[in-house]
Amino acid sequence: MTGGNTRRILILTLLAAVSALSQTAERKIVIQSLDPHYDWAITPERVRDYREASQDVRIVVARTPEEFASEIVDADAVVGGISKDLFAKAKKLKWLQSYSAGVEAYRWPEFVESDVILTNCKIVQGPNIADHAFAMLLALTRGLHVFIPGRSKEEWIRDGPSVPPLGELPGKTAVIIGMGGIGSQIAQRAHGFGMTVIGVDPKDIPYMASVSKIVSPNELDSVLPEADVVFVAAPYTPQTQRMMAGAQFALMKTGSYFIAVSRGGLYDTSALVKALDSRKLAGAGLDVTNPEPLPKGHPLWTMPNVILTPHVAGTSPGAQERRADVVRDNILRFVHNQPLRNVVDKRKGY
């Protein structure tokens, strides 16, 4: 055999090996959309963007539980979510991208102890949730929750037992539990309205001009007597469960407000009802409840000093665009073995 033939055979062998390696190295990412609420993730334009993020990955869209159960078996990554039962079948799984900021659904030991990387969509909902939180506060302090329903009855009621005292925000104090992507945005708005802002967070938070001071969660009780309004914007973890209970509501000023926009498990619902019923609190704005959905017949439905919305604060076109950007960027990073954005400490839950 001549030297030229030998080199030719060697080159062909190497090319075949490289081709086989590239085929085995191809990664599979399953985009899960079993809930119409997340259809934004699988529009043709978005799926095309995901696929264009890298040519070295196979993107599979699962639109039914049956498709998802089938595709998860050999998936390297999942965008969306996964149940405990299906996780046991996903032997190749290396990365899970959650659509939401909250990741309490993945607290089971098998997942927490695994090597699977969990990323979330924190921060992306900050502007719209902060807007929602402040809309609730403004509605309560200016009596809009009373005046707006009067329109349908053609009632011009400016005073009386149904009309609460109308207040203003400058000079008031806001205590914000959770100074992440949502809480920091609430702080900006509160500061813009002339309020003093006190943050509560376990992490060392960089300096923010909008915040007067930040205390640790074990110091919460020391700042609650200063609060004209308490905003709940922290993730739900074993440490934050029922942070706001009867003792905490009792420490707040008479006539203060309570706004919850992260998870309902952070406050004691029964204690909140008592604080509202006794008029210790002037009002509450709740986008999140516990239980959720709030069952029919629950006293919160009929309390005149409560504004309820059905966990919609996180929804807006801008938030969906920012979510899609996180998904696309992380797909690109995953395929090229780069650090992922928004990695969650699974033990801490955020």
Determine the Cα–Cα distance for residues 118 and 127; give it in Å rounded to an integer: 23
Instruction: Count the Cβ atoms, other than its own, within 10 Å of residue 307.
Output: 18
Radius of gyration of the chain (CA): 25
Cβ neighbours, 10 Å, residue 216: 11
DSSP string over 174-225 = EEEE--STTHHHHHHHHHHTT-EEEEE-SS-PPP-TT-SEEE-GGGHHHHGG
Q: How many CB atoms lie within 10 A of CB 99?
A: 22
Residues 6+ apart with CB under 8 A from 79: 29, 30, 31, 32, 41, 97, 99, 327, 331
292 is catalytic: yes
Catalytic (active site) residue 154: no
Query: What angle, 0 to 180 degrees and rounded to 10, lies between the N-to-C axes of helices 126-141 and 144-152?
Result: 80
Which residue shows structure tokens 């204690």?
Answer: 271
Secondary structure of residue 86 in the 3-state scheme: helix
Single-letter amino acid, residue 93: L
Instruction: Name the catalytic one among 51, 226, 292, 298.
Output: 292
- Among 142, 242, 298, 311, the one annotated catalytic: 311
φ and ψ of 63, to 5 deg: -105, -10
Catalytic choice (27, 46, 263, 328):
263
Is 336 among the residues known to form the active site? no
CA distance 145 to 141: 9
Burial of 193 (0-12, 13-18, 19+ CB in 10 A): middle
Indicate which residues carry an active-site annotation: 263, 292, 311
